[in-house]
Structure 1
Amino acid sequence: MRAQKVESAAQISEFLSFPAKLYKDDPHYIQPLNNDVEAVFDSKKNKFFRFGECERFLFLNDNNETVGRVAVFVNRKYRNEQPTGGFGFFDCINDQQTADFIFDFCRNWHQQRGMEAMDGPINFGERDKFWGLLIEGFSEPLYGMNYNAPYYQQLFENFGFQIYFNQLCFGRKVHDPVAQNFLEMHARVKRNPAISAQRMKVRNLEKYAADFTEVYNRAWAQHGGGKEISKTQTLKLFNTLKPVINEHISWFVYENEKPIAMWMNIPDLNQWFKYTGSEFGIWQKIKFLVVKKFKKNTKMVGLVFGIVPEWQRKGIDGFMIWEGTKHFRRTTDFEDYEMQWIGDFNPKMIKIAENLETMVTRKLATYRYLFDRTKPFERHRRL
């Protein structure tokens, strides 16, 4: 077996297409968009190249057939107890010897760069895409979420990886009954004439970007050492999402004109992309618009839920949830609601998810491997 660095157009094509060959008989697999994957490896698009390096490899057997792939990277802003690298886009046939060869290759690559541990499968970028190994809930992945066969877990754990943290996705049926205490909170808050709820509308995108930024920075940015975002960053994100924004499913709450809470949701794009394929050129974009028009999307995805500190534990969550739910039950075709993953190190956010009367729909894991096998293993600290 040998490793082959991905450099040529043919090698890039093989890197992108290998998982689809591996999962050709899996009805749940949805191939990610090639553009999304390639953006990770484009130094002009991925700001993390300013802080590190990234390479990707194919693994070929003695018959010159691809049996695995991986990307390895060092991100100097990835702070840990010891210098820790990462790897992602790991795919492999169901063979421990092949997996061990790939994992050993990753370890050696990182040791040559002074690393003492490696995490995977993670992304050379933000945590909102391509992060974690699926270990429970093998259903169609949400857009940007990793998917893998069940045997991957054993490949990792047999090599010696340990779970650094679990990533929990929570969901519920849109038309399931809402908890009585939410209805009571809604009724109580509704009596306050200063409090109002409104759905996000595309024509006022700049206003909602400012409102989102204010709520996010007050509710979440300082929680667990996070960083603030700017209105410019939020507006850029909103403009990117603009073609798929559903005006009925994202909500804001105001005290008079001041934003105090937000609940951001979008349609699950994979419910459309599964019909268009992994390419996204001009013809695929046209096909996407046709599919979007005629194929009902029945799953919405929760992105962010936040309430400013002084209004927490005062019923605003129940008010916002019931205001939004009443509306989108009546105006949309959504049947399922699923939240993007929450780390098990974040009990505050897990509590919010549980308060929404959700259940765990899938579990992913971020694994860590310490190169010094005598060193005590510690999980991600709780926030």
Structure 2
Amino acid sequence: MNGMPASPITELNDRARDVFRAVVESYIDSGAPVGSRTISQLSGLHLSPASIRGVMQELEELGLLAAPYTSAGRMPTDTGLRLFVDGMMQALEPSADERAAIEARIERGSGPIEDALAATTAALSGLSACAGLVFVPKRELVVRQFAFVALSPEQAMAVIVSEDGSVENRVINLPPGISAAALTQAGNYMSAMLSGLTLGEARARIGRQIDAERAALDDAARALIEQGLAVWSEDGDRRPVLIVRGQARLIDDAAAADLERVRDLLDDLEGKQEIARLLDSAREGDATRIFIGAENKLFALSGSSVIAKPFRGVDGHVVGVVGVIGPTRLNYARVVPMVDFTAATLARLMT
């Protein structure tokens, strides 16, 4: 991490630690610079405003606090927040209601996995009062089995089972005159021909196979096979790499006084490629990564923080990264464990 202070947290005396903690926690709670009189009114410190002003001045000289504009109050710098998060923060585990809310949204039905990821991101956003993020590197499914299930004379459900055990469905329109036997034939044919291939490989093979075995398939079955593969191939090309939910939560009462910062942050979120690159860097290892403000050049203007945690699939490999983005004054003690819990729950979804 860059910008570490000259004096680590272990070298601050007890009085400086107490004042520093009080300033940070008050700032996180209010979003406003904190004055010495406010700190002196907190129970347990037993320090006069004059004494607190002296300590705050020392902390400012160490680069842990700053006085914005002409305000008499102080607020933690990015370096100060880093020191607090790494050395002083006491994590608050998610409540039973918060855990239940996350798990309920993660429970996956028969739809695309992206639907479950989007619901998860929305739930995390709502609970953390930040924007929720989930990043899944683009990857093609490896096919295990295809099937077609009739819904009506005009529509069927195309079902694909991938090698990782996930099941996804899409509704397709049926060619005129297709029979139940043709649905079964088409599903069996695709499973036999394409099992073990990625969607891209399957798309390349299917045309050649259909031409070579034209006599063995009737026109309706050929049309169904081509349509069934097309819907998956098109969907694979569109698979989102980054899902963002809850941007509106970034515009709170405190942010209203700093609309330029919020505008910069929303611009950052629109530039998804840069956010995706940042989250991709969090895929290494198992630890929760916390990016605070100007520590990352992407957020130098918007003054934002990202908390991100990788989650793994059935094979133990990292599947993606889940997290939140918000102002640097976000409640790290509450949100970090929430992100950890969400990542663990997503990992169970993938197994």
Structure with the higher strand share, 1 or 2: 1
Regarding TM over 0.5, the answer is no
TM-score by length of 2: 0.27
TM-score by length of 1: 0.26
